[in-house]
Structure 1
Amino acid sequence: MTAYFRPIARTDPARPAEARWLAGGWTWFSEVEEMTRGGGRRLMPVSDLPAEVLEALTVRRAPVAGLTMDRPRLMGILNVTPDSFSDGGLFERPGAALDHAGALIAGGADILDIGGESTRPGAREVPAEEETQRTAPVIAALRAEGQGVPISIDTRKAGVARAALAAGADLVNDVAALTFDPALAGVAAEAGAPLVLMHAQGAPETMQQDPRYDDVLLDIYDYLAERVAAAEAAGIARARIVVDPGIGFGKTKEHNLALLRGLSLFHALGCPVLLGASRKRFIGTIGNAPEARDRAPGSIAVALAAAAQGVQILRVHDIAETRQALCLAEALWTREERP
C-alpha cells in the first residue's frame, strides 16, 4: 500500500535540534503524518522517514525565474479579459493593464501573472489568436517600459505561450498541466522556462457541476506526481517545475478546505508549491462576502495559512495588503524584520 508523508510544518523560532527545514525555506518540521488510502493516519518522527522522502522534503528549491524560494513570493494577478470572475473588464484596455501592473509592482509583487482567457467556472474557451492579442502586447509594453519583474503567462495553449515568451515573459502557468495542449511542454522546454502545473478536474465550462474524489488530497497529489513525470519526460527538469493543487478548479468548499489543511503534503513532490485561492467563492461563502472584491481579508487569511505551511508562491489580487500581512508574519516567524 502506497504511503504518503505530510510534514507538520512549524514557524515557531524555538526550533528543536532534530527538526529539519522544509524545502530549504522558512518553516521546519520534526514530525510527519504518514497517510494511506482508506484512512490510515499516524504521526512519526522525522528520523523514521525513508531517505528519499526526507531528501524531497528538505532539499532547497531552485530559484524560479530568478527568484529564490527561501521566503514566500507574491504573484500579482493581471487579467486582461472581459469576463474574469473578480476583475473582468477592469484591465482589458492596454493602458489600464499597464497602470495596474505598475500598481502591483509598487505594492510588492515579485511576479506578474498575465492571463487573456478566463478560467472561472462556466467560462468558454478563447481562440488562441485572440488570447495572444490580449497578452503579448501588454508583456512587450512592460518590457519596453523597463519593467524587470518576472512575468508569467497564464495560458493552456502552446501558441499563446510562445508569443508571450518572445515578448518577454519568463514563466508559463498552465492550469491544465499540459493536458489541454501537450505541445506547451515543448515550448517551455525549448525556452528553458519554468512551468507551473495545476490540477483541475474537468474544463472550466463544467468543472463545478459535480466534482468528486476518492480522497481529494491524495488524488491530487497523485495527479500532480504524474504530470511532473510527464513534464520531465518532455525535457523540463524538475528544478523548473512548480505545482499547484488548483483551489476552486473542480472542487467543492469541503474539497478546498481539505487541500488547504494538507498543503504541506505537496512538498514531497520536490517542487515549489504555488497556491491561487485569492477571492475565490469558498472564501465568500465562509466569510460572508458575496462580492469577490470584498474577499481580501479572507484571502489574506488563507495566504498566511499557506505560507505557514511553506508554500513558496502565493497568487493574489490584493498585493499591497498581502505583502503587509506577510511582513508581520515573517517578523514573528524569524525574530527579525525582513524588507
Structure 2
Amino acid sequence: MQNTINIRGKLLNLSTPKVMGILNVTPDSFSDGGKFNNEKNALLQVEKMIAEGADILDVGAQSTKPNAQKISAKEEIVRFGKIISQIKKEFPESIISLDTFYSEVVKFGFDEGIDIVNDISAGQYDENLLKTVAETGLPYILMHSNSAYEIMHEKQIDNDIILEINKFFSAKILELNQFGIVDIIADPGFGFGKTIDQQFQMLDELQHIAFEKLPILVGISRKSFIYKSLGKTPLEIGEETDKLHLKALEKGARILRVHDVKNAKRTIFEYSDNVQDTVL
C-alpha cells in the first residue's frame, strides 16, 4: 500500500493513521453550520483542533447534507475569504485539505496555501477539476459518489457495494493517472448514496476497498447511518463512533475525518497500543 503522499515537496507518512479535523465555514452544515463561518471563530476552532492533535485540517464552504442548496464557486470563494491564508499565517506547519468540487476554487485555494484537494465528486461535477488538480501537483482525495450533485444522496446501487466501489475506483484511478495525478487517497463515500446496511458492510470489508493499494480515508463522523440506526441525534453518538473508528483502523483506514479530534486521536492511540501488543 502507498503509505506516503507528496505535499508540496514534503512527504506525509501515513503508516501511522492521521486525524483530519473538519472546519465548516458554512451557515448550513448539518451539525455545526454557522459556528465557524467568520475568520475569528474559524481560527479559534483551528487552534483547538491542532491542540487536540489534528494532523490535517479539512476546510469546506459548501454543505453536502441532503436537500442542501448548491452554491457557486464564486460564493464558495466569498465564504472562504482570507480564512485559508490566515490559517497558514497563524499555523504555518498546518496541512490544509480543501473540500470543494470546483476547479476555480482549487485555483483560489492553491494560491492561498492549501495542501490537499478533497473532492466529493470524483471530478464529475466540474469538467475542469481534475486538470486543475494535476496542474497544482497536490494530492487528491478521490471519493466514491453518484454522477451529479442533485442525485448524490440517491441510493442507486443494488449490486455488492464493495464490488461497485472498486469498479468505480479502478476506472477513476486510471483517469487520474492519465492526468498525472499519482498521490491519491481513496474515500469510499460514507453518507453518500448508500443504504445503512451497505455502509456497515463497507466498514466490515474496508480492507478490500481500493485493492489495498491506496490509503483509505474514512468519514463517518456524525453520519446518519449511525445515529438513525440507533434512534439518536448526530451529537449523541460519540461512544459508538469511537468504536466504529477503531474498527475502521483495524480494517486499514489511514485517515479519520472527524468533528471530534480529541476522541479520534485517543482512538488512534488505543489502536496503536493494540498493534504493539500484538507484535510483542
TM-score, with structure 1 as normaliser: 0.77
Whether the 8 Å contact between 1:120 and 1:204 is mirrored in structure 2 is: no
Instruction: Tell me whether 1:250 sits opposite 2:193 in the alignment.
Output: yes
Instruction: Tell me whether 1:278 sits opposite 2:221 in the alignment.
Output: yes
Write the deviation string for residues 153-212 of structure 1: whole angstroms up to 9, x where unpaired.
000000011111110100000000111113111222111100011011254544334433
Instruction: Tell me whether 1:313 sits opposite 2:258 in the alignment.
Output: no
Mapped to 1, the partners of 2:240 and 2:148 lie a distance apart of 26
Instruction: Tell me whether 1:296 sits opposite 2:241 in the alignment.
Output: no
1:269 Cα offset (Å): 5.5
Among 326, 330, 338, which residue is 2:268 paired with?
326
Report the 3-state secondary structure (helix = DSSP H, G, I; strand = E; otherwise coil) of the residue aligned with 1:271.
coil
Instruction: Tell me whether 1:178 sits opposite 2:123 in the alignment.
Output: yes
Whether the 8 Å contact between 2:115 and 2:138 is mirrored in structure 1 is: yes
Give the gaps of 5 or more residues in structure 2. none
Higher share in helix: 2
Write the deviation string for residues 44-85 of structure 1: whole angstroms up to 9, x where unpaired.
xxxxxxxxxxxxxxxx42235332011111100000001111
Instruction: Tell me whether 1:194 sits opposite 2:136 in the alignment.
Output: no
Mapped to 2, the partners of 1:209 and 1:227 lie a distance apart of 20
Give the gaps of 5 or more residues in structure 1. 1-22, 24-59
Mapped to 1, the partners of 2:88 and 2:244 lie a distance apart of 32
Count residues in correspondence.
Answer: 275
Instruction: Tell me whether 1:266 sits opposite 2:213 in the alignment.
Output: no
Report the counterpart of residue 160 of structure 1 in structure 2.
105
1:267 Cα offset (Å): 4.5
Mapped to 2, the partners of 1:273 and 1:321 lie a distance apart of 19
Identity of counterpart residues, as a percentage?
35
Mapped to 2, the partners of 1:69 and 1:295 lie a distance apart of 27
Residue type matched to 2:95 in 1? Answer: P
- Structure 1 runs of 4+ aligned residues shifted over 4 Å read none
Report the counterpart of residue 137 of structure 1 in structure 2.
82
Among 78, 89, 92, which residue is 2:37 paired with?
92
TM-score, with structure 2 as normaliser: 0.93
Report the 3-state secondary structure (helix = DSSP H, G, I; strand = E; otherwise coil) of the residue aligned with 1:67.
strand
Whether the 8 Å contact between 1:284 and 1:292 is mirrored in structure 2 is: yes
Mapped to 1, the partners of 2:244 and 2:101 lie a distance apart of 26
Mapped to 1, the partners of 2:157 and 2:267 lie a distance apart of 34
Report the 3-state secondary structure (helix = DSSP H, G, I; strand = E; otherwise coil) of the residue aligned with 2:26.
coil
What pairs up with 1:20-99 in 2 under 5 angstroms?
23=1, 60-63=2-5, 65=7, 66-99=11-44
Mapped to 2, the partners of 1:108 and 1:68 lie a distance apart of 16
Compute the RMSD of aligned alpha carbons.
Answer: 1.7
Among 43, 46, 51, which residue is 1:106 paired with?
51
CA radius of gyration, larger in: 1
